[in-house]
């Protein structure tokens, strides 16, 4: 421990012997460092916070989905820091007074790209931070960014919608011409190859339609013929005449009831009722009882005969059924002729069907494409109207751009203090290094250790009164030098604080 203290005492003595060199080095480092600190430009920071709210009132049917809105937000944030947007910032603030050429603008844009920071925070908040050498310009930069933030939302989607509508209009016009040409080609083909054939559409469609119609006609014809046969069978069992009105007084009630039941039964069968129908079964039972009663009733002499009304009704129905059967037979013959004509066309020119199918397919593809383009145009138009009347993204400034009064950088008090500490340490270090390069022996023991020879003793320095006074003056001068360094440090701190106070 004593050895360590001796080494420390020797080092301090060596530094003290070179104290003027240490003071000079400290002043040199301090002056140079403080000058460098003074040359560092002030950096001011302006901040603002913007709230971005998505409009969720409109349904997704108009094409504005939450994913689209989030994409718009990301796009706007990236676009704000693009070269085009930063050039607008340069030309829209006082920075425009500092540029004359495109090269100057490019340099300013490059500087702004490093000085601007846009951060997405929670709750749909964006923080815009800009740093610069001028507090006024820094605030203008943040305000201009906010203006661009709003402007791009209001105009970006509208420009995109307008461009899309122009493109779709051009495509629709082109497709409309192609569709008209395809329609004309299809009409020419049908007039040339299919004009004499019945029906419409392709040969396959016409063949299918004719066969379907033929099957329906055959079914209707079978039903009509069956109904006609039933009417003929009914007429065979109904007498053409009955007792006339001249002897009506001689006709008994049993025969009158029989005639009435026969008429009702004929009407029921004419309506298409089958023999198992409840009304027909009841009438047949009544008819059997009426016939038995009529046979037991005497017929008055001299009764004249008259036409049976039931028979006349059946004759009328028979005529209608015959006309219906004749019409269906004629329709069947016509359809058979159509089928024969289409079959002959297919057999005579088998390539016509394939050619027509190709023409129809091309026409349908163009028609579907035109309809899709038209639907897309209406959807984009609706989306544009929705965005123009109710913005999909709304902005509100939560914190307006701050007007910085005090520079955020550099921290001059800290730098001035650091320079002073480095200067003092540098002076001491230089003095210590010089002491090591030019060794001196402050004690007899150190000399004995260095030479390896015994030291008999040491003689103290004899200082006269004049030398003592001179040394005191030099010590005062040295203290003044050290104190001057401290006074300079305090003065610089005072100037810095004064400037900050005036700026605030």
Mean pLDDT of 193-212: 61
Question: Does the pLDDT at position 355 exceed 60?
Answer: yes
Q: Is residue 13 part of a domain?
A: yes
Domain boundary among 300, 328, 343: 300
- Range with the lowest mean pLDDT among 189-198, 257-266, 362-371? 189-198
Q: Say if residue 391 is in the same domain as residue 415.
A: no
Q: Is residue 73 part of a domain?
A: yes
Q: Say if residue 10 is in the same domain as residue 79.
A: no
Residue 492 confidence class, pLDDT cut points 50, 70, 90: very high
Q: What is the pLDDT of residue 3?
A: 63
| CB 46, CB 403: distance < 8 Å | yes
DSSP symbol at 41: P
Question: Does the pLDDT at position 430 exceed 80?
Answer: yes
Q: Is residue 321 part of a domain?
A: no
Please tell me the distance from the alpha carbon of residue 493 to that of residue 420, in angstroms, as a whole number: 12
| CB 315, CB 238: distance < 8 Å | no
Q: Is residue 59 part of a domain?
A: yes
Question: Does the pLDDT at position 442 exceed 80?
Answer: no
Q: Say if residue 146 is in the same domain as residue 158.
A: yes
Write out the two tokens for 277: 């129908």
Beta bridge partners of 43: 409
Q: What is the pLDDT of residue 481?
A: 92
Domain boundary among 340, 373, 399: 399
Q: Say if residue 163 is in the same domain as residue 63.
A: yes
pLDDT per residue as tens digits for the range 12-51? 877 888 899 999 999 999 999 999 998 988 888 999 988 8
Q: What is the pLDDT of residue 334?
A: 79
Domain boundary among 300, 316, 331: 300
Question: Does the pLDDT at position 154 exceed 80?
Answer: no
Q: Say if residue 21 is in the same domain as residue 69.
A: no
Q: Say if residue 492 is in the same domain as residue 421.
A: yes
The CA-atom distances, in angstroms, between 366 and each of 177, 354, 360, 369 are 10, 18, 10, 5
Q: Say if residue 273 is in the same domain as residue 285.
A: yes
Q: What is the pLDDT of residue 196?
A: 43
Domain total for the chain? 3
Q: Classify each residue of 251-288 as buried b or exposed e, where b means 16 or more C-beta atoms within 10 Å of its C-beta.
A: beebbbbbbebbbbbbbbbbeebeeeeeebeebeebbe
Q: Say if residue 36 is in the same domain as residue 52.
A: no
pLDDT per residue as tens digits for the range 443-481? 666 666 767 778 776 776 677 888 888 889 999 999 999
CATH value at residue 393: 3.30.70.1130
Q: Say if residue 391 is in the same domain as residue 426.
A: no
The pTM of this model reads 0.45
For residues 421 and 370, the model is more confident at 421
Please tell me the distance from the alpha carbon of residue 169 to that of residue 178, in angstroms, as a whole number: 14
Residue 246 confidence class, pLDDT cut points 50, 70, 90: very low
Q: Say if residue 51 is in the same domain as residue 153.
A: yes
Please name which of 210, 123, 207, 187 lies closest in space to residue 396, comparing C-alpha atoms: 123
- Range with the lowest mean pLDDT among 101-105, 373-377, 414-418? 373-377
Mean pLDDT of 194-215: 64
Q: Is residue 468 part of a domain?
A: yes
Above pLDDT 90, what percent of the chain?
14
Please give the backbone phi and psi of residue 239, each rounded to the nearest 5 degrees, phi first. Answer: -65, 145
Please name which of 397, 398, 399, 403 lies closest in space to residue 45, comparing C-alpha atoms: 403
Q: Say if residue 120 is in the same domain as residue 164.
A: yes
From the CA atom positions of the chain, what is the Rg in Å? 59
Helix (H, G, I), strand (E, B) or coil at 110: helix
Please tell me the distance from the alpha carbon of residue 266 to that of residue 264, in angstroms, as a whole number: 5
For residues 371 and 191, the model is more confident at 371
For residues 271 and 82, the model is more confident at 82
Residue 201 confidence class, pLDDT cut points 50, 70, 90: low
Q: Is residue 218 part of a domain?
A: no
Q: Say if residue 258 is in the same domain as residue 155.
A: no
Please tell me the distance from the alpha carbon of residue 88 to that of residue 85, in angstroms, as a whole number: 5
Q: What is the pLDDT of residue 328?
A: 86
Q: Is residue 271 part of a domain?
A: yes
Mean pLDDT of 63-92: 72
- Range with the lowest mean pLDDT among 52-66, 241-255, 292-306, 351-365? 52-66
Mean pLDDT of 356-361: 70
Please name which of 404, 450, 337, 471 lies closest in space to residue 142, comparing C-alpha atoms: 404
The CA-atom distances, in angstroms, between 3 and each of 16, 351, 429 are 20, 120, 22
- Range with the lowest mean pLDDT among 221-235, 332-346, 408-422, 481-495? 332-346
Distance of CA 69 to the CA centre of its chain: 6
Question: Does the pLDDT at position 192 exceed 60?
Answer: no
Write out the two tokens for 469: 């006074």
Length of the chain: 504
Question: Does the pLDDT at position 441 exceed 80?
Answer: no
Mean pLDDT of 91-105: 89
The CA-atom distances, in angstroms, between 244 and each of 252, 255, 260, 466, 468 are 13, 12, 14, 186, 182
DSSP string, 197-237: SSSSS-HHHHHHHHHHHHHHHHHHHHHHHHHHHHHHHHHHT
Write out the two tokens for 283: 């009438």
Q: Which domain holds residue 64?
A: 44-169+384-399
Q: Is residue 33 part of a domain?
A: yes
């Amino acid at each position: 421990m004593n050895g360590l203290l001796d080494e420390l005492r020797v080092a301090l003595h060596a530094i003290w012997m070179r104290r003027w060199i240490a003071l000079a080095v400290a002043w040199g480092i301090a002056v140079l460092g403080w000058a460098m600190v003074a040359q560092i430009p002030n950096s001011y920071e302006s901040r603002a916070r913007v709230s971005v709210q998505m409009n969720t009132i409109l349904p997704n049917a108009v094409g504005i989905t939450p994913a689209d809105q989030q994409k718009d937000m990301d796009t706007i944030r990236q676009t704000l820091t693009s070269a085009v947007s930063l050039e607008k910032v340069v030309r829209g603030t006082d920075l425009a007074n500092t540029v004359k050429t495109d090269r100057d603008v490019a340099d300013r844009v490059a500087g702004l790209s490093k000085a601007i920071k846009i951060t997405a925070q929670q709750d749909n908040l964006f923080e815009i931070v800009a740093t610069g050498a001028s507090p006024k310009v820094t605030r203008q930069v943040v305000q201009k960014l906010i203006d661009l933030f709003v402007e791009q939302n209001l105009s970006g989607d509208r420009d995109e919608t307008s461009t899309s509508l122009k493109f779709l209009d051009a495509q629709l016009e082109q497709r409309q011409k192609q569709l008209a040409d395809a329609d004309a080609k299809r009409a020419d083909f049908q007039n040339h190859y299919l004009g004499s054939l019945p029906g419409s559409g392709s040969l396959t469609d016409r063949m299918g339609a004719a066969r379907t119609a033929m099957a329906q006609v055959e079914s209707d014809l079978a039903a009509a013929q069956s109904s006609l046969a039933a009417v003929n069978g009914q007429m065979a069992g109904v007498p053409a005449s009955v007792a006339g009105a001249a002897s009506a007084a001689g006709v008994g009630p049993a025969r009158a009831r029989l005639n009435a039941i026969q008429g009702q039964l004929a009407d029921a069968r004419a309506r298409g009722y089958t023999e198992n129908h409840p009304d027909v079964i009841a009438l047949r039972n009544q008819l059997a009882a009426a016939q038995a009663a009529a046979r037991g009733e005497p017929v008055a002499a001299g009764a004249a005969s008259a036409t049976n009304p039931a028979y006349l009704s059946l004759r009328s129905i028979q005529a209608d059924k015959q006309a219906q059967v004749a019409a269906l037979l004629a329709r069947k013959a016509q359809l058979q002729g159509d089928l024969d004509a289409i079959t002959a066309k297919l057999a005579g020119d088998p390539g016509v069907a394939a050619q027509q199918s190709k023409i129809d397919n091309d026409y349908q593809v163009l028609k579907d494409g035109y309809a899709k383009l038209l639907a897309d145009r209406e959807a984009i138009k609706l989306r544009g109207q929705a965005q123009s009347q109710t913005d999909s993204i709304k902005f509100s400034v939560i914190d307006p751009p701050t007007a910085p009064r005090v520079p955020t950088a550099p921290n001059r008090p800290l730098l001035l203090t650091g320079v002073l500490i480095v200067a003092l340490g540098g002076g001491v270090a230089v003095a210590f290094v010089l002491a090591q390069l030019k060794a001196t022996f402050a004690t007899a023991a150190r000399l004995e250790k260095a030479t390896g020879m015994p030291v008999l003793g040491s003689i103290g320095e004899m200082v006269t009164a004049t030398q003592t006074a001179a040394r005191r003056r030099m010590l005062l001068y040295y203290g003044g030098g050290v104190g001057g360094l401290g006074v300079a440090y305090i003065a610089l701190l005072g100037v810095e604080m004064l400037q900050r106070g005036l700026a605030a």
